[in-house]
Amino acid sequence: MKVGDKLTVAGVEWTARPFTPAEHERFDEIAERYELERVAAEAHALAARRGGTAREAMLRADQKRLHAKLSAYLAEDGALREGLSEDERLAAFEVAAELDMLTERIEALRSERAIDAMLAEERLHAAREAVVIEFMHAVLGVPDPLDVFQASLTPLEVATLEEAVVLGKLRLGLSASTRRQSALLERALAQTPASSGGASGSPPQPPAAPRKRGRSGRSRKSSSASKGGA
């Protein structure tokens, strides 16, 4: 999508364009009502917490200790060593049972963390979608009430509205780091020579080609000058 494209959403035609300062202010008001930035920050924090909680770190340390303790009773193939007494065999099974319980606790915490991250991401998507729909309902000038407009939208139309909002330079609840990365990427693409844009998805090329053209241009000038002098 680019500025000037004609869009039709819920039967209403609209031309994609940058948004006015008043529309930016209106978007921020709606986003604040849905706490979009806070929801986005929560989702980002949970997604970035790959190392786990302090409880997980303590349990993993305990798990490592139990592994070392159990290995004293085991052969290289993982079976109990031969020649163990009955008390040693019993102690080995007790350590193994404790290790299993500890592993289950770690997996439960890890699953809980993953579920929290997924739920936070879903809350972010829902809040973002609600903000975009309410904002674009006014921008498009849809005659239907907001709830009717929202219920009539297809998933593709919702995605189109989100793309139009991004095109108009609105943030959609992105974190500051993500907005900065997007801005840097946009700037890099804008500075890429048009001739290098033929290969889809290829990174911007270094400025070797422009320098080469400059040298050949100077050579042609020098050649022309020498001919003229002759």
47: nearest Cα among 118, 122, 125? 118
**Angle ∠(191,195,198) on CA atoms, nearest 5:** 105
Per-residue pLDDT at 123: 92
Provide the mean pLDDT of the chain.
Answer: 78
- pLDDT given at position 92: 92
At residue 170, the pLDDT reads 73
Cβ within 8 Å of residue 116, ≥6 positions away: 46
pLDDT computed for residue 180 by the predictor: 55
Average pLDDT value for residue range 18-24: 86
Residue in this structure with the two tokens 């193994």, named with its chain if needed: 96
182-209 average pLDDT score: 52
Length of the chain: 230
What tens digit of pLDDT does each residue of 79-94 get?
Answer: 888 888 999 999 999 9
Give the Cα separation of 195 and 205 in Å (integer): 10
In this prediction, residue 205 carries a pLDDT of 47
Residue-wise pLDDT for 128-181, tens only, equals: 999 999 999 999 998 899 999 999 999 999 999 988 888 877 766 544 455 555
Q: How far apart are CA 91 and CA 96, in angstroms?
A: 9
Report, as an integer, the average pLDDT of 43-62.
Answer: 80
Q: What's the pLDDT tens digit per position in 96-136?
A: 999 999 999 988 888 888 888 899 889 999 999 999 999 99
Residue-range domain boundaries for the chain: 16-179
